């Protein structure tokens, strides 16, 4: 049987991680996978999360199963973190999942089961695992234009022109904040226009929110998600705790399904539980319990919010520094968009040849589409990157 296997499709982010690790050069710079790094290049356990881990271990008396939906305290705290008081919690069904990716996978299976004819619309570009999961599940997918590579901004006219083709019952996947890979995000006015369009089309919105707190702040980053939750009859939300709680390897995430009139939240909840069951039975608990402990303790929550804010502002500082260096070295405003972008990533608009040259000649690793992880930089490596980019033109 196994001899019949073909090599699996490649994932450019995972491949780049391996390439970086294999590079023996000192001074190589990793701007690839979306993992936060402090100025020393470490990905620390957040102080509040470490303190929560001690509390969890001390309080834990059993490792018995919790429930198919995960721990209710985690689901409740995460629903409140993402949705605030945007709507009646009774409309929301939710399951804990292995990371945000688990939530995306369960959402995709829910869509396939309940609306097999629906086409899922993805931004072009998007996180490569979105189309990969949909393709694997053989879910019809198409894309809408999103990014203007010349200006580095959202090409909103093109986006809306493409979304005009959405059919009733289709699903539109949107990045809640900190768009991956571009770093270009919708304004409040643009979110409203998208909400109006989805309502008019009778389409279902699906939000992937993996970087809440990394852009403009915890509440500001949830603006679009909350707006859609208030105005649309139904909404799917895949949220990740990997980045904003720094619990990457613990795999903590949640899928929320908000239903409208005519839908029975209990039935929606039952379907989510059942999808967890057939995929991996009970969702992982430890990471979710750390997150829940932080969110339910006033002291830990305050400390976590402070740490997250420091991460956010440090990335903003690096953005400003890089944009200024590039302005000075290229004598142009071509890269000013880096300071306007939000979140962990910016797409620089370099050619694949330029990306390869940066990797081969300078040991600077970024994804082939020229996405950089801002958090992979520090004050000292910003000028190195800026000089290398400026040298491309010469």
- State the number of binding residues for ligand LMR (CB under 6 A): 5
Which tokens in the block code for residue 262? 């005519």
Task: Give the sheet arrangement for strand 92-97, strand by strand.
Answer: 92-97, 253-258, 235-240, 204-209, 171-175, 120-124, 141-145
Q: Is 252 in the site for ligand LMR (CB under 6 A)?
A: no
Per-residue buried b or exposed e for 92-103, using 16+ beta carbons within 10 Å of the residue's own CB: bbbbbbbbbbbb
We find the least distance from the C-beta atom of residue 127 to ligand LMR, in angstroms, to be 5
> Are the beta carbons of 241 and 247 closer than 8 angstroms?
yes
Q: Judged by CB under 6 A, which of 31, 34, 223, 307 binds ligand LMR?
A: 34
The count of other CB atoms within 10 Å of the CB of residue 14 is: 13
Q: Is 123 in the site for ligand LMR (CB under 6 A)?
A: no
Give dist(CA 309, CA 83) in Å, integer.
19
Annotation says 243 is catalytic: yes
Nearer to ligand LMR, 34 or 363 (CB): 34
Which tokens in the block code for residue 378? 């520090």
Residue 311: cis peptide before it, omega within 30 degrees of 0: no
Annotation says 184 is catalytic: no
Nearer to ligand LMR, 127 or 191 (CB): 127
Q: Is the dihedral of CA 355, 375, 180, 281 positive or negative?
A: positive
Annotation says 285 is catalytic: no
Residue 206: cis peptide before it, omega within 30 degrees of 0: no
Which tokens in the block code for residue 11? 């994932």
Q: What one-character DSSP code corresponds to residue 285?
A: -
Which tokens in the block code for residue 210? 């993996």
Catalytic residue among 208, 229, 288, 386: 208
> Are the beta carbons of 121 and 144 closer than 8 angstroms?
yes
Q: Is 33 in the site for ligand LMR (CB under 6 A)?
A: yes
Catalytic residue among 155, 191, 243, 257: 243
Catalytic residue among 195, 210, 238, 375: 210
Angle at the Cα of 38 from the Cα atoms of 36 and 42, rounded to 5 degrees: 85
Q: Judged by CB under 6 A, which of 20, 127, 191, 223 binds ligand LMR?
A: 127
Catalytic residue among 69, 103, 108, 127: 127
Nearer to ligand LMR, 74 or 127 (CB): 127
Q: Is 180 in the site for ligand LMR (CB under 6 A)?
A: yes
Give dist(CA 149, CA 333) in Å, integer.
14
Annotation says 210 is catalytic: yes
We find the least distance from the C-beta atom of residue 172 to ligand LMR, in angstroms, to be 20
Q: Looking only at residues 201 through 240 of this chain, which bind ligand LMR when binding is defined by CB under 6 A?
A: none
We find the least distance from the C-beta atom of residue 35 to ligand LMR, in angstroms, to be 7
Which tokens in the block code for residue 228? 């859609």
We find the least distance from the C-beta atom of residue 375 to ligand LMR, in angstroms, to be 11
We find the least distance from the C-beta atom of residue 42 to ligand LMR, in angstroms, to be 17
Nearer to ligand LMR, 145 or 371 (CB): 371
Q: Is 126 in the site for ligand LMR (CB under 6 A)?
A: no
Nearer to ligand LMR, 30 or 170 (CB): 30
Q: Judged by CB under 6 A, which of 13, 68, 172, 338 binds ligand LMR?
A: 13
Q: Looking only at residues 338 through 377 of this chain, which bind ligand LMR when binding is defined by CB under 6 A?
A: none
The count of other CB atoms within 10 Å of the CB of residue 21 is: 10
Which tokens in the block code for residue 57? 């271990």
Residue nearest to ligand LMR (CB): 34
Give dist(CA 166, CA 366) in Å, integer.
33
Nearer to ligand LMR, 70 or 253 (CB): 253
Q: Please list the active-site residues.
A: 127, 208, 210, 243
Task: Provide the binding-site residues for ligand LMR, judged by CB under 6 A.
Answer: 13, 33-34, 127, 180
């Amino acid at each position: 049987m196994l001899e019949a296997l073909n090599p699996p499709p490649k994932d450019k982010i995972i491949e780049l991680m391996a390439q970086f690790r294999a590079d023996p050069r000192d001074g190589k710079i990793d701007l690839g996978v979306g993992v936060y790094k402090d100025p020393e290049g470490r990905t620390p356990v957040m102080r509040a999360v470490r303190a929560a881990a001690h509390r969890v271990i001390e309080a834990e008396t059993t490792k018995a199963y919790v429930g198919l939906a995960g721990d209710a305290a985690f689901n409740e705290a995460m629903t409140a973190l993402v949705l605030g008081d945007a709507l009646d919690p009774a409309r929301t069904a939710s399951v804990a999942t292995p990371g945000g990716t688990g939530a995306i996978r369960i959402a995709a299976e829910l869509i396939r089961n309940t609306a097999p004819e629906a086409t899922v619309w993805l931004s072009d570009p998007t996180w490569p695992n979105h189309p990969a999961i949909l393709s694997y599940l053989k879910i019809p997918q198409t894309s809408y234009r999103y990014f203007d590579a010349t200006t580095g901004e959202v090409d909103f006219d093109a986006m809306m022109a493409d979304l005009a083709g959405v059919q009733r019952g289709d699903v539109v996947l949107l990045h809640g904040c900190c768009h991956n890979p571009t770093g270009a995000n919708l304004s409040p006015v643009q979110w409203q226009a998208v909400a109006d369009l989805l309502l008019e089309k009778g389409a279902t919105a699906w939000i992937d929110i993996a970087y809440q707190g990394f852009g403009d702040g915890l509440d500001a980053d949830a603006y679009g998600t909350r707006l859609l939750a208030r105005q649309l009859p139904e909404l799917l939300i895949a949220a990740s705790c990997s980045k904003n709680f720094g619990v990457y390897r613990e795999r903590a995430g949640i899928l929320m399904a908000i239903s409208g009139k005519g839908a029975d939240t209990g039935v929606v909840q039952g379907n989510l539980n059942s999808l967890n069951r057939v995929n991996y039975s009970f969702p992982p608990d430890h990471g979710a319990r750390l997150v829940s402990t932080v969110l339910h303790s006033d002291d830990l929550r305050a400390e976590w919010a402070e740490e997250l804010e420091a991460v956010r502002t440090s990335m903003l500082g690096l953005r400003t520094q890089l944009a200024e260096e590039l302005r000075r070295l290229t004598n142009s405003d071509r890269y000013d968009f880096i300071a306007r972008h939000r979140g962990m990533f910016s797409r620089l608009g370099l050619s694949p040849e330029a990306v390869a040259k940066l990797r081969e000649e300078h040991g600077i690793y970024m994804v082939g589409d020229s996405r950089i992880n801002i958090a992979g930089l520090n004050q000292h490596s910003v000028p190195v990157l800026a000089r290398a980019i400026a040298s491309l033109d010469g």
